[in-house]
Structure 1
């Protein structure tokens, strides 16, 4: 049997959903599926089964040749695209259950199944399944630079837009905060963000509700498109303008253009930049084993030095009615000053090491930096309290160390 007849018989097996006939074809030519797969754009048996909603036959083909699931036909569609076009939702969900990455398969125009579901108003439940299976699919772009959010608002599918926004806010995968900020502020080929497009909509019942939800995200209110217009400049309805003004957007505000990448790279390196670069390079170069070891050593040094403030060498004067030195160190001031300088330096270095070895960021960094900061300042207060003489030099030292500690605590939280 020649190849043409074999392919015809294979399509016949597909149309009749005859799995036994499929294996008869494979027996005639065991390489038939491999031959079909070798073509870059081809209509596979899986395309036919998907468009007809033939779930059992499609599952059999997927088991034999999983690569067919991401193969595009000459029209630029994968099997899951065809299933969506024919409203074969059970077929679509079977595809996703077998391989969640099929949500990100790009067809003609760069459209993924997620984009298709964002466009069609009746596919919100399917959209929810896609986002649940593959949350990061929300960052995929079409050839026009559109996200699923752009497509939803351009097709007046506000229910889908609300779902997309809520999923961005609920995403807890690694890097979700950065993903949220990047996706919500992405621009299409005209440099319009989702907010630009939504501001141009007619005032429908869901528009203000969706706009309010969007304004609670990290959307850039003053982003400009290619025509140098902000969302407020493009707002067609007075209610939408009032909504934008209520969140602090000022009319007629000339937003300073953001510096380009070349300008940022050529800008002068500040002291803060140097510190941040050094910290990042240090974190990158150390191994996990070194990190754990240094963290343990730094913690032991910090706690040991803190104990010296609670119980300095020689002890402290006892509180009694005839003495005003209760709680003060018995060490002479000439000895206490160098002792305090050395211990403060050791404490400062150990605190810095702890911060370098722990995660950065506003959430995880804040959980560490907050307690470490309180611990540090309680140490400084203790040292000031046990000082035998409240002289101006020691107060200045405490102040300087406090400023250094503040800088050390803030940099990892906001810059690194």
Structure 2
């Protein structure tokens, strides 16, 4: 196979496209034969290392698969072009997924850029493929781990800032996952930064992140406070709420969580998850439409109750209008007993429909978007106020308290996953 590569090598080293076609004219299947090998130095490797962009594009047009090939050293062409910004731009422009090509040890181009600390290359790679931040080496290292271990402060600052400002799909979960990720020794980025005695501004950048778990422990049961070298950093960590490893309670194991007795919240969670899993997409859409119509109808009946509302009387005297409002003006014409059952059934229907709508809402939206709960809460409050206003008597305490209880259940169920995530941040160490 080396003989075949040697035939194309002069053209690749010179970046001579005419010479390449001369070789292909005499050996039409030479590129396919090279591509059939597992570990091989392709013409794309050679041209990428030499910086011949036109030749690289020509080879990519012929054999896109060459971009995924590893040479005997375990490097792909984009790995070899890591220090050539223009070459990297061309590779990424042709195929953004090349950012995630793994070489020897699971190293991606993003890992290598973090290792050398080139912020310009890093910016190109993470903007092209933000998901590449999730890629880890065989040692469990993210690009942030590698930047921290190599004391590349600018690279680490860029990566953390990107995660903080990123607004793409699942941005919040991505930030939390990456900033709390643990390597083979269960060290987080904060562990490594403290252990390597990084500058104060780097430590502050990490501990000020609202999603980072400050009291995570590594395999030696040490927190960042135990690993800190500088007294100034120790004081900074202590003021931020970091505790020694001896004072941090280990989280329950998976086996303990599975075998633990089920709680009321756990029962509700299990029921909701099973309900979600049994509903098809078509049924899901139909249910949302039906219960949205029920919510709309029940609210409309409060605005226009059966029989209508008592009206106020107006009398005119000497060109001036004097209004005398009846005590029952704006109240339902129904009797107190009839209104009690009307309001009770109406509230139950409204509450159940609201619960179903929240249950059928995609979990990610319900957890990550407070904007969803704000209008629904305001809508429920306005409904309650409207019901109270048309009531023949304001002493209908049973109905009001019952409705408030039902709405409390709605809020607890809808916010369960959000509360669970907040608790996990403080009680559960994020693991791989």
Cα RMSD after superposing both structures: 2.3
Map of 1:348 onto structure 2: 351
CA-CA distance at 1:322 after TM superposition: 8.3
Alpha-carbon separation, structure 2, partners of 1:223 and 1:4: 50
The answer to whether the 8 A contact 1:199-1:235 is kept is yes
CA-CA distance at 1:5 after TM superposition: 5.6
Corresponding position: 1:300 with 2:293: yes
Task: Give the TM-score of the pair, scaled to structure 2.
Answer: 0.87
Map of 1:314 onto structure 2: 307
Alpha-carbon separation, structure 1, partners of 2:349 and 2:237: 52
Residues 64-103 of structure 1: pairs in structure 2 closer than 5 A: 64-84=62-82, 87-103=83-99
Map of 2:414 onto structure 1: 412
Map of 2:44 onto structure 1: 46
The answer to whether the 8 A contact 1:187-1:193 is kept is yes
Change (3 A) 1:310 1:18: closer
CA-CA distance at 1:284 after TM superposition: 4.2
> What does the per-residue CA deviation read over 1:324-364, in whole Å, with 9 as the maximum and x for residues that have no partner?
44433232222122212211121112212322343444666
The answer to whether the 8 A contact 1:362-1:414 is kept is no
Change (3 A) 1:18 1:346: same
CA-CA distance at 1:287 after TM superposition: 4.4
Corresponding position: 1:146 with 2:146: no
The alignment covers a number of residue pairs equal to 406
The answer to whether the 8 A contact 1:41-1:73 is kept is yes
CA-CA distance at 1:319 after TM superposition: 5.3
Change (3 A) 1:379 1:90: closer
Map of 1:180 onto structure 2: 175
Map of 1:236 onto structure 2: 229
Alpha-carbon separation, structure 1, partners of 2:228 and 2:247: 17
Alpha-carbon separation, structure 2, partners of 1:153 and 1:377: 50
Unaligned regions of 5+ residues in structure 2, if any? 314-323, 419-432
CA-CA distance at 1:83 after TM superposition: 2.1
> What does the per-residue CA deviation read over 1:207-266, in whole Å, with 9 as the maximum and x for residues that have no partner?
211211112221110000011000011111112112212222245761111112222222
Map of 2:388 onto structure 1: 384
Task: Name which structure has the greater RCO, CA cutoff 8 Å, separation 6+.
Answer: 2
> What does the per-residue CA deviation read over 1:20-47, in whole Å, with 9 as the maximum and x for residues that have no partner?
2222222222221111111111111111
Map of 2:203 onto structure 1: 211
Corresponding position: 1:20 with 2:12: no
Alpha-carbon separation, structure 2, partners of 1:14 and 1:365: 53
Corresponding position: 1:375 with 2:379: yes
Alpha-carbon separation, structure 2, partners of 1:6 and 1:386: 89
Map of 1:331 onto structure 2: 334
> What does the per-residue CA deviation read over 1:110-167, in whole Å, with 9 as the maximum and x for residues that have no partner?
111101111113x110110001111110111111111111111111100000100011
CA-CA distance at 1:53 after TM superposition: 1.2
Alpha-carbon separation, structure 2, partners of 1:290 and 1:182: 33
CA-CA distance at 1:191 after TM superposition: 0.7
Change (3 A) 1:75 1:134: same
Alpha-carbon separation, structure 2, partners of 1:364 and 1:256: 28
CA-CA distance at 1:69 after TM superposition: 0.9
Map of 1:9 onto structure 2: 7
Alpha-carbon separation, structure 2, partners of 1:268 and 1:4: 64
- Higher deviation after alignment, 404-413 or 93-102: 404-413
Alpha-carbon separation, structure 2, partners of 1:89 and 1:329: 74
The answer to whether the 8 A contact 1:358-1:368 is kept is no
CA-CA distance at 1:388 after TM superposition: 2.6
Change (3 A) 1:322 1:172: closer
Map of 2:426 onto structure 1: none
Aligned-partner SS, 1:415:
helix
